Amino acid sequence: MSQPNIVVICSDQHHPLITGYRGHPYIKTPHLDQLAAEGTHFTSAYSNCPVCTPSRMSFITGKYPHQIDSWFLGCPLDRNEMTWSRKLHEAGMPSAMFGKMDFCGPYQDGGFTEHKIIKKRPAFRPYPRTTPLYARLEGHVRQDKRMHIVNAGIREDVVTDGDTGYNKDLGFYDHDRVVTEWAIDYLQHKGAEKEGGPWAMYVGLMFPHWPYKVPQQYYDMYYPNNIVMPHDAYFPNDALHPQVRNMQNALGLGTITEPMLRNVIAAYYGMITALDDNVGKIIAELKAQGLYDNTYIVYMSDHGENLGEHGLFYKQCSYEASVGVPLIVKGPGLPSGQRIDGPVTLVDLYPTLMDIAGLETEPDRPGTSWLPLIKNGSRNREEYAFSEYHGNFFKQDWYMLVKDGFKYTHYVNDRPSLFNLQEDPQEMRDLAADPQYADTLKQFEALLRTIVDPEAVSLRAKADLGLIGKDGQDYTLTMTDPQCKELIRQGVFQDEAEFPKWEDG
């Protein structure tokens, strides 16, 4: 058999437990279920940062976000950073990217041999920011977040060209249809090549990312009763950690009723089934072209979705639904129907792809290949998962570790949290204040500081996001969102948008 090909399919905002192969009672994901049956699925896979751009810049470079200063949306990647796509290309293995990857600003190709994108991610201008990223300040509220929930449901029955990649009324259904067509066309060309060597294809699908809009046939599969109601769904939820409670406040969700939850969850489930259909089309084309048996396939998502759990939607926090991701790896010679419960993260994707391609991974990459773990259960580093967050809705940066069945989250300038995931998988009992876990907290903090200096990295992130004044003042501790907006009106700060806009040319 010739050297194998690689297909990486990355969805956006897929809750780690909402698939058939994970035992969900209602969701229809037959193609992902079949992929898991023919490969290995992971039950403790994590994003290295639960928001789009930093997560993707992390898994394309094989470095943690703090190693590449990828703090938030709009923070551009240094062109000198090696990506797995460029490394494969330079080694003579062409790499193609179709759909969302989230390189910021004019650098959109990321080293891929060829690429097609509908939705382009702009970069902050200027960057580093000179105006505080006010989404991290006390009192900030995003009014549109509630409206996405209020307006969730059935999209208009129209066909578009994918628009700009985003349409608040139609969602991302057409984006994913077009990107899937691009992927199928690429596979048809590869199947027609008589003497072609191995290749790699990345497919960036948007579902099930908000807006929660889906064609009626998918919505009708689940509304109103074929859904699992979220746990701890209190709006507001005073039991949350203060930093997570700040996130809930910033989302401006207000009162969310049971009928509203059923509606938005039905739409979200429908998006997952629509996503699964596109995955099925790609797999069917691989088989039709005789490529399936000699192709490694990775299915994953960049982060999860809270979906009402703990009174939260979207991502950003370190709860399992947000920071956890689905992950399946199938390939020639790999075991089928295998489940791995130990923690892994998406930073491992880079060394895994290097392993498949027979290339060396640079020593500054913190991840390890999944292949030895899949083949014989072996690891060459301590078994833990690390994630971090420096973006909107959180005043303070956080860092997460999962190890030995516990989840530890370190909040800068605030107390930590600790959950026993084996005994408390819904993360309802924070153990950080319990004296019997004092040594556990110390051990986790010591491990964390071998990976990152949390305070130093926090200051660097805040400085790049305009949150540290010229006198060293930390605006996350001293300024509110209304005060910042008033200083913008007075001309003290420039009027720099929370989210930059794409500018052609």
Q: What is the pLDDT of residues 330-373, one digit of tens each?
A: 999 999 999 999 999 999 999 999 999 999 999 999 999 999 99
pLDDT recorded at residue 160: 87
Which residues share a beta bridge with 453? none
Residues 181, 278: Cα–Cα separation, whole Å: 9
pLDDT recorded at residue 248: 98
pLDDT along the chain (505 residues), means of 10: 90 98 98 98 98 98 98 97 98 97 95 95 95 97 95 93 78 96 98 90 98 98 98 97 97 96 98 98 98 98 98 98 98 97 97 97 96 89 93 97 98 98 98 98 98 98 97 97 97 94 73
The two three-digit tokens of residue 258, written as one number? 């049971």
First to last CA, the chain: 46
Reported as half-sphere exposure (CB side, CA atoms, 13 A), residue 16 has a value of 26
Reported as half-sphere exposure (CB side, CA atoms, 13 A), residue 224 has a value of 5
CATH 3.40.720.10 for domain 5-381, yes or no, is yes
Q: What is the pLDDT of residues 187-231, one digit of tens each?
A: 999 999 977 899 999 999 999 999 999 999 999 999 999 999 999
pLDDT recorded at residue 187: 98
pLDDT recorded at residue 44: 97
pLDDT recorded at residue 381: 73
The two three-digit tokens of residue 22, written as one number? 């994970």
Q: Structural domain boundaries of the chain?
A: 5-381
Peptide bond into 224 cis (omega under 30): yes
pLDDT recorded at residue 166: 73
CA dihedral defined by 34, 39, 45, 48, rounded to 10 degrees?
Answer: -100
Q: Which residue matches tokens 């939705």?
A: 119
Q: What is the pLDDT of residues 126-140, one digit of tens each?
A: 999 999 999 999 999
